[in-house]
């Protein structure tokens, strides 16, 4: 029996540059940064006061206000993105078997805002005042569970966790499940709402963040020689993956096809990439091999590109190892230059960017690229979107703990 093929038929996103997928895409192409001074809380006492926040998002538009208050922000974002993706795919429960529709939506951190709020309640008012909704609202799999409840889906449901590679892991594992015949449709992606006092303090202590006081929109500058660290972001992105033949049969819009998936671990350091990037290179090679795609067919890479000194060099080295001379013909951009680093949702956001780049024949830019780095010497699509037809695109993700995952997508 031939292996089943997997299409992307629905997109949903809530990001620092848009509260839906179309606006996120258009703002990425326009190079509009979502980075600004933190508004969620008073960050004046912190060495870093900027982040890429989701603004203008109202969870009450999807669920009753009382129910929304019982959800951590990461869950609210995920439910919104999932509903958009489901609607975009044109799916209805009457037309699919809900037991054959799965959900793989993960988060790197989970319900941290609710955890810290309830810790304060516990400390100030005692154990009997902790909310009965506390535990169900903070688990990493709460988002996937709530999506199932909201949409009435009864297929496989779990929350992969691989730090900043979570979104890519979810998509890759979901595609593999559809290929094996374990599901016909899966909603896959990631969600994250980490912009809280405690998490900001933790990343400040790690010295991984960039502090850009004069103009926060310039803070995230992947591959630029002056890059100084990443910008915290938040958001959710969900893709509807569907068995290709059935998607065609029902006349679904097909954004792109999932061709391959690769994963590896650096086995080197919890916070720093392995300098020679052998793990990242192995991940990319695995995806190409799984898809049966020659390296020369890849035309675009949406890089992990966090704007950290070590990470951007490691990823550049990995691309050169896998693609050889073709690496210099690749277009490589980092949309984290506009979204910041959305952690567990980043890989899904960037896979969506690849699918739309293939559909529209235009590549999103790496903004704030002004100063070439001799160790990062590829074509990073600097500052302006580029019109070019590409058949195959690669989305890379590299997470704390050495987790690596990538998704290879092809034009529909």
pLDDT tens for 174-230 read: 999 999 999 999 999 999 999 999 999 999 999 999 997 789 999 999 999 999 999
Which of the residues are catalytic? 164, 304, 341
Task: Enter the pTM of the model.
Answer: 0.97
Question: 98: which 2 tokens?
Answer: 């809900």
pLDDT (0 to 100) of residue 136: 93
Q: What's the whole-number mean pLDDT along residues 90-116? A: 95
The torsion angles phi and psi of 28, rounded to 5 degrees, stand at -65, -45
Report the distance separating Cα 96 and Cα 247, nearest Å: 11
Question: 23: which 2 tokens?
Answer: 């606006």
- Quick one: which H or E segment has residue 102? strand 101-106
Alpha carbon 121 to chain centroid, angstroms: 32
| Fold of the domain built from segment(s) 6-249 | Peroxisomal Thiolase; Chain A, domain 1 (3.40.47)
What pLDDT, in 10s, does the model give residues 131-143? 999 999 999 999 9
pLDDT (0 to 100) of residue 233: 98
Of all residues in the chain, the percent with pLDDT exceeding 90 is 92
What pLDDT, in 10s, does the model give residues 266-322? 989 887 888 889 999 999 999 999 999 999 999 999 999 999 999 999 999 999 999
CB 376 within 8 A of CB 304: no
Report the distance separating Cα 108 and Cα 119, nearest Å: 20
Is pLDDT of 90 > 80?
yes
Is pLDDT of 1 > 60?
no
CATH class of the domain whose range is 259-411: alpha beta
What pLDDT, in 10s, does the model give residues 368-407? 999 999 999 999 999 999 999 999 999 999 999 999 999 9
Is pLDDT of 2 > 90?
no
What pLDDT, in 10s, does the model give residues 34-73? 999 999 999 999 999 999 999 999 998 888 888 888 999 9
How would DSSP label each residue in 264-329?
EE--S-SSS--TT-HHHHHHHHHHHHHHT--GGGEEEEE----S-HHHHHHHHHHHHHHHGGGGGG
Report the distance separating Cα 258 and Cα 6, nearest Å: 6
Which part of the chain has CATH 3.40.47.10? Answer: 6-249, 259-411
Q: How confident is the model at residue 344 (pLDDT cuts 50, 70, 90)?
A: very high
Buried b (16+ CB within 10 A) or exposed e, 101-126: bbbbbbbbbbbbbbbebbeeeeeeee
Measuring CA to CA, which residue among 342, 83, 169 is closest to residue 158? 169
Q: Are strands 50-52 and 101-106 parallel, antiparallel or unpaired?
A: unpaired
- Give the residue with greater pLDDT, 2 vs 132: 132
The torsion angles phi and psi of 67, rounded to 5 degrees, stand at -70, -40
Is pLDDT of 253 > 70?
yes
Between helix 278-291 and helix 309-323 the angle, nearest 10°, is 40
Largest CA distance in the chain: 64
How would DSSP label each residue in 28-94?
HHHT---EEE--SS--TTSS--EEE---S--GGGTS-HHHHHTS-HHHHHHHHHHHHHHHHHT--GG
Alpha carbon 23 to chain centroid, angstroms: 16
With vertex at residue 227, the alpha carbon angle to CA 223 and CA 228, rounded to the nearest 5 degrees, is: 140
- Quick one: which H or E segment has residue 11? strand 6-14
């Amino acid at each position: 029996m031939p292996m089943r093929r997997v299409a992307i038929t629905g997109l949903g996103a809530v990001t620092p540059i848009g509260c839906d997928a179309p606006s996120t895409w258009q703002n990425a192409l326009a190079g509009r940064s979502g980075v600004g001074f933190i508004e969620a809380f008073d960050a004046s006492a912190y060495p870093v006061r900027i982040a890429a926040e989701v603004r203008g998002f109202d969870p009450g538009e999807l669920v009753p206000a009382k129910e929304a208050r019982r959800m951590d922000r990461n869950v609210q974002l995920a439910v919104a993105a999932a509903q958009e993706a489901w609607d975009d795919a044109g799916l209805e429960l009457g037309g699919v078997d809900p037991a054959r529709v799965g959900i793989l939506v993960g988060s790197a951190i989970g319900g941290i805002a609710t955890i810290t709020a309830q810790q304060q309640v516990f400390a100030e008012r005692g154990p009997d005042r902790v909310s009965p909704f506390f535990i169900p609202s903070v688990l990493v799999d709460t988002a996937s569970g709530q999506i199932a409840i909201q949409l009435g889906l009864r297929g496989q449901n779990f929350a992969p966790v691989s730090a900043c590679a979570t979104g890519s892991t979810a998509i890759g594992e979901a595609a593999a499940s559809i290929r094996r015949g374990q599901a016909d449709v899966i909603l896959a992606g990631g969600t994250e709402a980490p912009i809280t006092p405690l998490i900001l303090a933790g990343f400040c202590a790690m010295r991984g963040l960039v502090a850009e006081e004069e103009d926060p929109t310039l803070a995230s500058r992947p591959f630029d020689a002056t890059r100084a660290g990443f910008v915290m972001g938040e958001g959710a992105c969900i893709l509807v993956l569907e068995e290709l033949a059935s998607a065609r049969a029902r006349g679904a819009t097909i954004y792109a096809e999932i061709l391959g998936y690769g994963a590896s671990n650096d086995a080197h350091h919890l916070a720093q990439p392995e300098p020679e990037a052998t793990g990242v290179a192995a991940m990319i090679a695995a995806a190409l091999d799984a898809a049966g795609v020659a390296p020369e067919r890849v035309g675009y890479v949406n890089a992990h590109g966090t704007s950290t000194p070590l990470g951007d060099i490691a990823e550049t080295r990995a691309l050169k190892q896998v693609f050889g001379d073709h690496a210099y013909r690749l277009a490589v951009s980092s949309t984290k230059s506009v979204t910041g680093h959305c952690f567990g949702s980043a890989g899904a956001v960037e896979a969506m960017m690849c699918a739309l780049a293939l559909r529209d024949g235009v590549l999103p830019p790496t903004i704030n690229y002004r100063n070439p780095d001799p160790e990062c010497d590829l074509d990073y699509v600097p500052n302006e979107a580029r019109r070019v037809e590409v058949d195959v695109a690669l989305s890379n993700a590299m997470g704390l703990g050495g987790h690596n995952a990538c998704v290879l997508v092809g034009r529909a």
